Amino acid sequence: MISTILCDLDGVVWLAHRPIAGATEAIASLQAAGRRVLFVTNNSAATVATQEAALAAIGVDATGSVVSSAMAAALLVEPGERVLVAGGPGLVEAMQARGVEVVVNDGTLERPAIEAAPFDAVVTGLHRDFDYARLSSAAAAIHLGARLIGTNSDPTYPTPHGLDPGGGSILAAIATAALVEPVVAGKPHPPMASLIATMLTSPMSPYDPGTVMMVGDRMDTDGSFAIELGCRFALVRSGSTPPGSKVEGLPLDALDVADLRAVASAVLAEDD
């Protein structure tokens, strides 16, 4: 039986914080039936409290249930390291909670200043004030020895008006300018999978992929993440993957349905 639902946000629960029809009711029905719902998102820009409040605003209780790519990225740095953060408040929050020295990349750092106080890592995520100056500062830090960590590699994310550039687009720009391959923390990569498996493990109950389902709107991100975790996948056609489009690599046991409401119906049918 599926006892834990790992639920993506953008394209599954909402589009730009506008709830997708039936999603709020679907989450409530799963929670009422005793299923644990974790909101596993590659969004690293918003703080956890901001994401919980946004979900509460549409009627979803997500207290303590938001897992972001910023949290996974924090596991890739060590307390005491000096980190240049090219991202939003959520990424800064996660880095500070890890105990690193955070310097926000505002584009004013030039190479001599970086040489005087070098960085151990550049950690990047979606931020809408990214520009050439910030790109230059991040690349200079990496040229001087900092490793590059990305919260996610998503090239786009869905909105009610179509696809917008995602955090992966910014990561790609920095990696290209710095001539390095980044380590990526979020879905579908191992750091996020390790974080989730740890969260679903207790002294009396080891992680059991047979009790877990990942719900997402992208095969390349969410479906691959389910494969990384060894759990089932449910693809919804309410976000980045449009209805009727062909999807390569979809697992044979995957659900391929319209929306989260259909996922909830299928999962709860197991109780009948």
Domain ranges, residue 135: 76-184
What CATH code is carried by the domain that includes residue 89? 3.40.50.1000
* Catalytic positions, written as ranges: 8, 10
Q: Does residue 250 sit within a domain?
A: yes
Predicted confidence at residue 159, as pLDDT, reads: 81
Q: What confidence category does residue 241 fall into, taking pLDDT thresholds of 50, 70 and 90?
A: very high
DSSP assignment letter at 200: T
Q: Does residue 65 sit within a domain?
A: no
Q: For residue 14, what are the β-bridge partners?
A: 10, 19
d(CA 91, CA 44): 6
d(CA 223, CA 252): 12
Are residues 153 and 222 located together in one domain of the fold?
A: no
Q: Does residue 176 sit within a domain?
A: yes
**Sequence-distant (≥ 6) Cβ neighbours of residue 67 within 8 angstroms:** 38, 39, 40, 41, 192, 195, 196, 199
Q: Does residue 87 sit within a domain?
A: yes
pLDDT in tens, 68-90: 999 999 999 999 999 999 999 99
Are residues 110 and 148 located together in one domain of the fold?
A: yes
pLDDT in tens, 97-114: 999 999 999 999 999 999
Predicted confidence at residue 61, as pLDDT, reads: 94
Predicted confidence at residue 2, as pLDDT, reads: 96
Q: How many domains would you assign to the chain?
A: 2
Predicted confidence at residue 157, as pLDDT, reads: 81
pLDDT in tens, 15-29: 988 999 999 999 999
Domain boundary among 184, 211, 227: 184
Q: What confidence category does residue 162 fall into, taking pLDDT thresholds of 50, 70 and 90?
A: confident
d(CA 233, CA 235): 6
Strands 18-19 and 36-41: unpaired
Give the chain's mean pLDDT. 95
In this model, does residue 163 exceed pLDDT 90? Answer: no
Domain boundary among 140, 164, 184: 184
